[in-house]
Amino acid sequence: MSLLQGRKISKNTNPTVGLEIEDSILNGSKVNVWDFAGQERFRFMWDDFLKGSGLAILVCDSTDDNIEKTKEIYKKFLRSMGSKIIAIANKQDLPNALSAEQVEEKLGIPTYGMSAIRVDLRGRIRRILEYEMDGKK
């Protein structure tokens, strides 16, 4: 979320705990960005928050183990997710990261490569979201 919001990017990454909600401006429109904790203990609230969303974005590390966990989440909450679902294959900067294409093949949904700690990719994440929100895919 820091990358999208234009905040300082920390090299020390901490997982989201609970829920983080922020407003952002994309394509001149105000949108709500909801960052859900991935831990099992917080998943009880996902159904309610996902209903009626226009776009659901699954962010996963680009590793086989994390992709499998993301697949489980996708299958469990598919009925609640927004009308459109995409994935972000994060941590593309790490050695041995699977490519976005490999992640997409395993997940079965449109996937974009990203590294959330690279400030130079701030514009890219915004363009991806604007493109997907416009419904061109």
Q: Taking the model in full, what pTM does it have?
A: 0.75
pLDDT averaged per 10 residues in sequence order, the chain, 137 residues: 55 59 68 66 71 79 91 80 82 93 95 87 83 69
CATH code, 121? 3.40.50.300
pLDDT (0 to 100) of residue 105: 96
* Angstrom distance (rounded) from CA 110 to CA 129: 12
* Angle, vertex CA 128, rays to CA 124 and CA 130, nearest 5: 115
pLDDT (0 to 100) of residue 22: 67
What's the number of domains the chain is made of?
1
pLDDT (0 to 100) of residue 102: 97
pLDDT (0 to 100) of residue 37: 60
Q: Give the position of tokens 């991806």.
A: 128
**In contact, 60 and 109? CB cutoff 8 Å:** no
Backbone angles phi, psi at 65, to 5 degrees: -60, -45
SS3 58: strand
Range of the domain at 51: 2-133
* Angstrom distance (rounded) from CA 135 to CA 80: 19
* Angstrom distance (rounded) from CA 93 to CA 34: 24
pLDDT (0 to 100) of residue 92: 93
